[in-house]
Structure formats: structure tokens, C-alpha cells
Amino acid sequence: MFYRENGQFKTSYRSDQQIFPVRQDRIFIFAVLLLAFVAVPLLASDYFIKALLIPFLILALAAIGLNILVGYCGQISLGTGAFMAVGAYAAWNIGVRFPQTPLIVEILLGGFFATLVGVLFGIPSLRIRGLYLAVATLAAQFFVDWAFLRIPFFTNYSPSGNVSVPALSVFGFSLQAAIPKYLFVLSFVVVFALLAKNLVRGAIGRQWMAIRDMDVAAAVVGIRPMYAKLTAFAVSSFIVGVAGALWGFLHLGSWEPLAFDLNRSFQLLFMVIIGGLGSILGSFFGAAFIVLVPVALNHIPSWFGLPLAIDTAAHIEHMIFGALIVFFLIAEPHGLAKLWTIAKEKLRLWPFPH
């Protein structure tokens, strides 16, 4: 009844190629953006914004980056944490050595350095795949872990290895309070999500998916596997690096290498699998899910009068994530994003059963 496409004829390729061709989808997205940019700052508590929304947004951005590599191009990576670390530390180093640099430039440069490292560790993908590539990315993860811990140059000779950022501001506006931070992060995420969407629906996106689906056939239509794979690593690491810089600067404030360790890499991989491989929207779903589960585990049992100890909750979290990964891989490899699409299909027919 509500979700009908009747009457929405496309008369040009341009209109057929829009990101949201169905009018109801456009209205929905507009509403979501309105909610995000206007309602949330007015209504949400500082705690909600700082503890839930900002981490959700930044992790969703990192998940988009990882999804491009794993979901769209089919190259597995267990070293995402390392690229986030490069982004964060590079941005920080620039800020420390060139204090005049504007915040946005710092963050983008962080992404740029992450790109360099990403492409370097992506070179093995030209020769190996699957498990073997996973091992190569693990090498990146452990090496970067060590580098930021033991090479004093990167932490500006800080004795504890801990770094922190000064008070942040952009275009003269201070970013100390929750709402300005939130709007800054939100803007970054919306812009990058749009850029990512444009890439995956364009020529390079098709190249990536061709490599993922059958790289031998891709060569036959003239796609260069090297170009496709390295650009996937480059774009993915750039986005992940930017997310890393945002995470360090705007969420943590101060950090050490542990913030970007192997657990972070696994967490992002889970977001991408649960949310949906090969889906920008899915990255948001996955991030929301992973951010919400610990919160749910902390609050819901106490509603029933059975509060869980913190570490029990952590263990149950592990079990839930593990079980869900297996479940989604067996039942719905396209994750929550596919469930969303199926729900929309059903909505199309509603109130009719078929």
C-alpha cells in the first residue's frame, strides 16, 4: 500500500541510475538525515551521543572501508585495525609537527598514509588469496602493532606510548562538546558514504566485483587484476585510515596501540559479515548491531531482574557474535542488508500476502 513503485517510470538512464530510484526510499533517507542532523542534536543526551552514536558512526565508516575490500572485491583482510592505527597516528604526528594544519587536512592526510601502507600490504594479494592473504594481512596487523609501540618517532618519544590530542576546532568552532563532535563526525560519514556508493556503482565497482566473482574471466574482458585489487586496497585503507583518525581524535581523545589491535580487526570483520558483504547500507547495520549488543547485554538482563556480571556479559557477547557469524554465513551470506531488502519486498506487497 505504501511502498508501491506504480507510476514511477524512469525516462532517462540518469534517473534510472540514481542511488535511490524509488521515491519512498528517497523520502525515507531524507527523513533519516533530518533525524540525524536536526532531531538528534536537539533531543539526544550527551551520553547517548558520545557513547553510542559517535562510535557507531565511526565504526560504520571503517566497516564501509572494509566492505569495499572484502565484500565488493573479495579480498580478505584481518589487518583493518592496523590501517586505522596508521590513520590515527599519522594524523596525530602531523598535528604535533605542523600544529597549524587544519583538522580536516590532518584527518585526510592520516587516510593518505593509511593508503600507502594499505597498498604495500595489498601487494601480496596479486599472488595469493583466501587464507594465505589473511596471513599476509595478519603480518601487517602485528607489524604495525609493534611499530607504534616500539618506534619512538611515531609517538614523539612519549615514554608510555600513549598519545593524546589537544582541544580540537574546525573553522573556528570548538569541537569539545558532544553535539559539535557528533555533527562533525556525521558530516564526514555522510560524505564518505556517498563517495563510496558512487565508486561501487560505477566502473571501478564493477571491476572489483568482477575480480571477486571470477578473476580469470575478468582478465578476459580486459580488467587488470592488479589495478582492481590495488585500488580496492587503496580506497579501503583510505576510508579505514580516516575512520581511524576520527576514532582517535574525536572518540578516544587519547590512545595507545592496543586501541587498534587484532580484536578491532575482528570486530570490523564481524560488522561486515553480519551487516552484509557487498552492501554500503549493510555496513551501517553491522556497526549498529555490534555497538548495540553490549549495551543490550548490560541493560536487558537487569530489566528481568537478572543482572549479568561484566565479564559474563563479555563472554556471552563472544558467543552471540560467534554464533551469528556462523548463522549468517550459512543462512544469509548477504547479512542484515539482505534481510532489509526482503523486508522491503514484503512491504511492496503489503497488505497482500503474495
Partner 1 sequence: MTTPLRERIGEVVLEMQNISLAFGGVKALTDISFDVREHEIRAIIGPNGAGKSSMLNVINGVYTPQHGTITFAGEQFNKMNPRRAAEMGVARTFQNLALFKGMSVLDNIMTGRNLRMTSGIFAQAFRLGSAEREEIRHREFVENLIDFLEIQAYRKTPVGRLPYGLQKRVDLGRALAMEPRLLLLDEPMAGMNIEEKQDMSRFILDVNDEFGTTIVLIEHDMGVVMDISDRVVVLDYGKKIGDGTPEQVRQNEAVISAYLGVAH
Partner 2 sequence: MGFFLETLFGGLMSGMLYSLIGLGFVLIFKASGVFNFAQGAMVLVAALSMARFAVWIPNWLGFQNLILANVLAFMVTAVLMFVMAWCIERLVLRHLVNQEATALLMATLGIAYFLEGLGQIAFGASVYTINVGMPKEPAFIFESVFDGGVLLNLEDLTAAVIAALLVASLALFFQVTATGRALRAVADDHQAAQSVGIPLNQIWVIVWTVAGVVALVAGIIWGSKFGVQFTLATATLRALPVVILGGLTSVPGAIIGGLIIGVGEKVSEVYLGPLVGGGIEIWFAYVLALVFLLFRPQGLFGEKIIDRV
Q: Are 272 and 63 in contact (CB under 8 A)?
A: yes
Query: What 8-state DSSP symbol labels residue 7?
Result: T
C-alpha cell at 46: 550527551
* Binding partner of 330, given partner 1, partner 2, none, CB within 5-8 angstroms per partner class: partner 2
Q: Are 186 and 36 in contact (CB under 8 A)?
A: yes
CB of 203 to partner 1, least distance (A): 4
Helix (H) / strand (E) containing 301: helix 280-303
Cβ-Cβ contacts under 8 Å for 165 (sequence gap 6 or more): 92, 95, 248, 249, 253, 254
Nearest to 114 by CA among 206, 247, 3, 253: 247
Could you please report the per-residue DSSP string of 164-211?
E----EETTEE--SHHHHHHHHHHHHHHHHHHHHHHHTSHHHHHHHHH
CB nearer to partner 1: pick between 253 and 333: 333
Grid cell 616500539 in the structure block, residue: 150
d(C-alpha 190, C-alpha 52), whole Å: 17
CB of 202 to partner 1, least distance (A): 4
- The count of chain residues that interact with partner 2, using the rule CB under 8 A, is 44
Helix (H) / strand (E) containing 216: helix 203-220
- Using the contact rule CB under 8 A, the part of the chain among 99-107, 165-173, 244-252, 262-270 near partner 2 is 262-270
Residue from 321, 334, 337, 338 touching partner 2 (CB under 8 A): that is: 321
Residue 190 touches partner 2, criterion: CB under 8 A? no
Residue 221 touches partner 2, criterion: CB under 8 A? no
Cβ-Cβ contacts under 8 Å for 184 (sequence gap 6 or more): 170, 175, 250
Residue 10 touches partner 2, criterion: CB under 8 A? no
CB nearer to partner 2: pick between 10 and 315: 315
* Binding partner of 128, given partner 1, partner 2, none, CB within 5-8 angstroms per partner class: partner 2
Residue 136 touches partner 2, criterion: CB under 8 A? yes
* Binding partner of 173, given partner 2, partner 1, none, CB within 5-8 angstroms per partner class: none
* Binding partner of 97, given partner 1, partner 2, none, CB within 5-8 angstroms per partner class: none
CB of 204 to partner 1, least distance (A): 6
CB of 284 to partner 1, least distance (A): 19
Residue 297 touches partner 2, criterion: CB under 8 A? no
* Binding partner of 152, given partner 2, partner 1, none, CB within 5-8 angstroms per partner class: partner 2
Instruction: Calculate Rg over the CA atoms of the chain.
Output: 21
Binding site for partner 2 (CB under 8 A): 74, 76, 124, 127-128, 130-132, 134-136, 138-139, 142-143, 145-146, 149-152, 216, 262, 266, 269, 273, 311-312, 314-326, 329-330, 333
